[in-house]
Amino acid sequence: MIPLVLLGASGRMGRAVAEAAAAGGGFELRACVDREIPRGAASPEWNTDLSAVLRGGDVVIEFSSPAAAAAAATICAERGARLVSGTTGLDATQERAMTAAAERTAVLRASNFSVGVLALRRALASALAALPEWDLEIVERHHRLKADSPSGTALTLAQDALAARGWPASALVNGRAGRLGARPDAQIGLHAVRGGSFVGDHTVLFAGPGESLELRHVAQDRAAFAQGALKAARFVADAPPGAYTLEAVLPAGR
């Protein structure tokens, strides 16, 4: 049994991971951590302080905040625990904390734990190679409560495209307004839609002369992300120290 500690346990993703771990077997949900302990919480152990419950050999799965994610990485490295991190938007100092922790323990990070999104990224790589001169736009839709935009997944897709085309970060444009003139060739438009209860919807649109192509992934339930996070937890439980991504868990061809 892999001992799990959930950080951000009362959030949407924390609850989804807890449900998936209980249903899937092979995991012991040993403790839950969040800023507030839900009323009536009994089992497993709840705490507001990760360091108070963490033991060596635990696997921490966190969907929390940039500050909490960076602090969790440091604590995991100190205690000999592993970390699966789904938080995005870390600043430079927090990124350094993640990097330092990965020198001492296994740290796996992803902006999206969906297997389908990983397939989307691989399809995007093929399309970029086949359509080097086509215009590229990314549209993402999320629920009305999502705090950041564009989403971490949209930014990951954009970074994949920038790397493939050799373009600088300045080629990214967040939406458009006003009389801007013709669209530059070396540009990627990022468009964030917020409303309702979208779980996660990402479309990469290629537009060429007289034709277009759309690659789209729609997450219908957070259980998809939870299953990916548990696959990552199984991987890091036996992995040596290092910085990992979901590609290590699900290499191409498997």
Catalytic residue among 142, 191, 202, 217: 142
Amino acid at 79: R
Other C-beta atoms closer than 10 Å to the C-beta of 188 total 19
For 206, which DSSP code? E
Terminal alpha carbon distance of the chain:
24
- Beta-strand relationship, 82-85 and 27-33: unpaired
Could you confirm whether 142 is annotated as catalytic?
yes
CA angle in degrees (0–180, nearest 5) for 54-59-65: 80
DSSP codes of every residue in 25-73: -SEEEEEEE-SSPPTT--SSEEES-HHHH--TT-EEEE-S-HHHHHHHH
Catalytic residue among 143, 146, 191, 202: 146
Q: Are 111 and 153 in contact (CB under 8 A)?
A: yes
Could you confirm whether 231 is annotated as catalytic?
no
Cis peptide preceding 38, ω within 30 of 0: no
Q: Are 82 and 236 in contact (CB under 8 A)?
A: yes
* Active-site residue list: 142, 146
